[in-house]
Amino acid sequence: MAVTIYGLGCKSTKKAKQWMINNQIPFVERDIKKDPLTVPELQDILRLTMEGTDDIIAKRSSHYQKVEVDFDDLSLVELLEMIQEQPKFLKSPIIVDRNKLQVGYNADEIRQFLPRKTRKFQLLNWTQDLKPIEW
């Protein structure tokens, strides 16, 4: 299954796309401003999170700060419907495949999308490049 990058066209989304291209990982890009996530798609993403909606909502964004809604008072469905209507509430990018999730661009964490053999090969080459410590 290909990797999907859900993004808002921000710098982090562009970095993630370039990383995928540089590492020859097939991906599908989706601009969530033009094509917002549906409630079932958001539920699928939440299934992969550790902290639920806290992992995907951009609470420090100006868009979030301007809204006069207490998100804690909303049901999950109400919150997901609100996110569907206002995709700027989401962090960007959200990168997923069948069972992996990364929210935001992180150069170390994005490596999880490399095939296992590639990660193992890179790790072996990296450890061979280490020089022994001389005391």
Helix (H) or strand (E) holding 41: helix 39-47
- Which residues pair with residue 6 across a beta bridge? 30, 94
8 Å CB contact between 61 and 89:
yes
8 Å CB contact between 31 and 88:
no
> Is 10 assigned a catalytic role?
yes
Query: Of how many residues is the chain composed?
Result: 135
Residues 4, 10, 48, 109: which is the catalytic one?
10
8 Å CB contact between 113 and 3:
yes
Task: Tell me the catalytic residues.
Answer: 10
